């Protein structure tokens, strides 16, 4: 009987990753591609996925003919929009079949299940994920119900995220410039980067993105660690918002929280003691979750999502 393969895709607004495993769970190759938020231009998302998958295939040393025996799982930002997924799946892909879900769900699956060599059991886990990066989102599955907390996007949501934390640094830097807040090394650093005049800051802000703001978040925490009062204020407020999301997940019934995302390690020391006690290392990542999604589509063994 011909060997089957499983491909996991983790796609977001800045890029996507791919991981290829055989049916025994052995990791064969990984690759990267461009932006793959399902709400972006559909043809571009498809190409980003194919680029990442192609890189994983080349790393494996296998031939493209295996795609006919490859079951793919896509965990994509923006996949909660049904129309976006339908438009994407209407395009041709070389894989045997494709299962699609949100990146939050596949991140949760990966954190709960782990990798194929050491799988967990999400039905008995009651774990939650809290992703802190450019954005922020809490997610869990309890009693078969998916629960999302926050993560509704910048600027209407995402308090505690890198984007909002960075935006606050810019706002406070302007306040310091106007004498409405004390001068501080953080304010000086921000203005030196995008100013130094308010007019230059406004011009920068007119064409900025959440990711542009988010690059100031590590700077906030770095200055906070040195005792900068302004940085400490911003970091403490951001951590408080993250604490709120974590406590809401725990109140709803989550037994533990897996802290994920590019800022996870940066913000963790600033979180409240009760929240830190609830943190648990993730068993796996979003690519493991995407592969688990592909497996579930073949076995029909739906998890508790």
Question: Do both 271 and 293 map to the same domain?
Answer: no
Question: Do both 174 and 224 map to the same domain?
Answer: yes
Residue 141, domain member (yes or no) = no
- Taking phi over 0 as left and psi of -120 to 50 as alpha, with beta for the rest, 228 belongs to beta
Q: Return d(Cα 119, Cα 125) in angstroms, integer.
A: 12
- Predicted confidence at residue 239, as pLDDT, reads 98
- Predicted confidence at residue 304, as pLDDT, reads 42
- Predicted confidence at residue 14, as pLDDT, reads 78
154 band by pLDDT with thresholds 50, 70 and 90: confident
What is the DSSP secondary structure assignment for residue 268, as one 8-state letter? Answer: G
Is pLDDT larger for residue 280 or for residue 119?
280
pLDDT reading at 302 higher than 50: no
Residue 54, domain member (yes or no) = yes
pLDDT reading at 203 higher than 80: yes
Say what percent of the chain tops pLDDT 90: 79
Residue-range definition of the domain harbouring residue 227: 162-278
pLDDT reading at 18 higher than 80: yes
Q: Supply the CATH number for residue 31's domain.
A: 3.30.420.40
pLDDT reading at 45 higher than 70: yes
Residue 178, domain member (yes or no) = yes
Task: Indicate the average pLDDT of the chain.
Answer: 92
pLDDT reading at 118 higher than 80: no
- Predicted confidence at residue 9, as pLDDT, reads 98
Indicate the number of domains in the chain: 2
Written as one string, the DSSP assignment of 227-259 is: T-HHHHHHHHHHHHHHHHHHHHHHHHT-SEEEE
- Predicted confidence at residue 122, as pLDDT, reads 58
Place of tokens 């954005």: 135
Length of the chain, in residues: 305
From 126, 64, 55, select the one nearest 278 (Cα to Cα). 126
The number of beta carbons lying within 10 Å of the beta carbon of residue 253 is 12
Question: Do both 115 and 167 map to the same domain?
Answer: no
From 23, 19, 5, 22, select the one nearest 52 (Cα to Cα). 19
- Taking phi over 0 as left and psi of -120 to 50 as alpha, with beta for the rest, 153 belongs to left
Average pLDDT value for residue range 106-124: 72
């Amino acid at each position: 009987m011909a060997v089957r393969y499983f491909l996991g895709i983790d796609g977001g607004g800045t890029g996507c990753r791919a991981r290829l495993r055989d049916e025994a769970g052995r990791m064969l190759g990984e690759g990267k591609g461009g932006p793959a938020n399902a709400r972006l231009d559909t043809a571009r998302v498809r190409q980003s996925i194919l680029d990442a998958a192609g890189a994983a295939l080349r790393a494996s040393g296998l031939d493209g003919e295996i795609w006919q025996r490859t079951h793919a799982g896509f965990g994509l930002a923006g996949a909660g929009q049904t129309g976006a997924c339908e438009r994407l799946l209407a395009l041709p892909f070389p894989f045997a079949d494709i299962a699609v879900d949100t990146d939050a769900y596949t991140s949760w699956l990966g954190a709960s299940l782990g990798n194929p060599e050491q799988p967990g059991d999400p039905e008995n886990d009651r774990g939650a994920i809290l992703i802190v990066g450019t954005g922020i989102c809490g997610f869990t599955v309890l009693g078969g119900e998916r629960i999302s907390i926050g993560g509704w996007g910048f600027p209407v949501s995402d308090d505690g995220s890198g984007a909002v934390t960075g935006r606050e640094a810019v706002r406070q830097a302007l306040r310091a410039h106007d004498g409405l807040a004390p001068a501080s090394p953080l304010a000086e650093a921000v203005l030196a980067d995008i100013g130094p005049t308010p007019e230059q800051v406004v011009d920068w802000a007119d064409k900025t993105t959440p990711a542009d703001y988010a690059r100031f978040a590590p700077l906030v925490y770095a200055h906070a660690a040195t005792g900068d009062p302004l940085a400490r204020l911003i970091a403490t407020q951001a951590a408080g918002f993250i604490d709120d999301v974590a406590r809401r997940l725990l109140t709803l019934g989550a037994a533990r929280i897996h802290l994920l995302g590019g800022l996870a390690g940066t913000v963790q020391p600033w979180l409240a003691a009760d929240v830190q006690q609830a943190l648990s290392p993730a068993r796996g990542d979003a690519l493991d979750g995407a592969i688990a999604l592909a497996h579930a589509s073949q076995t029909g063994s739906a998890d508790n999502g």
